[in-house]
């Protein structure tokens, strides 16, 4: 609403004043924008390391007052599977960035036992640094009402039933994710 004084004295309405008014209006509009309070993530990877980013971002978004959802598709379904503790692993194979106690040639990393060793290493490194385990992040996500949505199509491909997933998981497809994402400024594919 334009201040009364500008109506009675239009000359008071300088460029500077107009810019200040527009700026103020924009600030107000930004606060009202519902998309600023929504975040939609996709979790597509099923390894222990890649389970972290979507869970960390979604729980933090929710803790920051946003409505957050994660759409789990393809291998990302592992994260919300009831057996996630056993299913989420890391592989040193083809991952030159993974820190190893000693440098090993790639063919050695492919030998039996190397995967479990790398998984064990990462779990104890995380625990040693006091990083929250996946179970705690899932608990926090549910506590903060983060919507956990499983992709029905990939569930069918992998032969998963709804009972295979942790409680509270919803089931939907691409259209449902897009309906959510088009109302969110923050959308990320992990």
Partner 1 sequence: MTETQIDVTQELDARGLLCPMPVIKIAKAMKALAPGQVLKLLATDRGSIADIPAWAESTGNELLDWHDEGDFLVFFVRKGQET
Of 127, 143, 153, 171, the one binding partner 1 (CB under 8 A) is 143
Measured from the CB atom, the residue of 74 and 126 that comes closer to partner 1 is 126
Please enumerate in sequence order all residues whose Cβ is within 8 A of that of 61, keeping only pairs 6 or more positions apart, or say none: 39, 68, 146, 186
179 binds partner 1 (CB under 8 A): no
Site for partner 1 in 81-120 (CB under 8 A): none
Burial class of 22 by CB neighbour count within 10 A (0 to 12, 13 to 18, 19+)? exposed
Asked if 140 touches partner 1 (CB under 8 A), the answer is: yes
**Binding-site member from 93, 98, 121, 131 for partner 1 (CB under 8 A):** 131
CB of 122 to partner 1, least distance (A): 15
**Using CA atoms, how far apart are residues 68 and 64, in angstroms rounded to an integer?**
10
Q: How far is the CB of 112 from partner 1 (least distance, A)?
A: 33
Q: How many angstroms separate the first and last alpha carbons of the chain? A: 44
The answer to whether residue 56 forms part of the interface with partner 1 (CB under 8 A) is yes
CB of 144 to partner 1, least distance (A): 7
Contact 28, 44 (CB under 8 A): no
Q: Does 130 bind partner 1 (CB under 8 A)?
A: yes
130: left (phi over 0), alpha (psi -120 to 50) or beta: left
Least distance to partner 1, CB of residue 54, Å: 12
Length of the chain: 190
Strand partners, 72: 43, 150
Residue 129 near partner 1 by CB under 8 A: yes
Please report whether residue 65 would count as binding partner 1 according to CB under 8 A.
yes
The arrangement of strands across the sheet holding 147-151 comes to 170-172, 147-151, 67-72, 38-43, 186-189
- Least distance to partner 1, CB of residue 131, Å: 5
* Region binding partner 1 by CB under 8 A among candidate stretches 2-10, 40-48, 107-115, 135-143: 135-143
Among 7, 12, 35, 63, binds partner 1 (CB under 8 A): 63
Alpha-carbon separation of residue 168 from 122, 139, 142 (angstroms): 28, 11, 8
Nearer to partner 1, 133 or 168 (CB): 133
């Amino acid at each position: 609403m334009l201040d009364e004084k500008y109506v009675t004295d239009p000359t008071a309405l300088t460029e500077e004043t107009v810019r200040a008014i527009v700026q103020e209006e924009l600030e107000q509009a930004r606060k009202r924008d519902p998309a600023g309070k929504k975040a939609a993530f996709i979790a597509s990877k099923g390894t222990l390391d890649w389970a972290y980013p979507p869970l960390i971002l979604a729980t933090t978004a929710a803790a920051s007052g946003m409505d957050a959802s994660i759409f789990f598709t393809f291998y990302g379904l592992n994260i919300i599977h009831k057996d996630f503790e056993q299913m989420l692993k890391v592989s040193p194979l083809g991952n030159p960035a993974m820190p190893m106690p000693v440098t090993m040639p790639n063919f050695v990393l492919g030998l039996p036992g190397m995967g479990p060793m790398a998984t064990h290493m990462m779990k104890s490194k995380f625990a040693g640094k006091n990083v929250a385990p996946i179970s705690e992040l899932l608990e926090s996500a549910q506590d903060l009402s983060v919507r956990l949505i499983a992709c029905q199509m990939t569930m069918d491909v992998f032969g998963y039933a709804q009972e295979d997933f942790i409680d509270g998981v919803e089931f939907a497809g691409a259209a449902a994710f897009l309906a959510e994402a088009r109302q969110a400024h923050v959308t990320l594919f992990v």
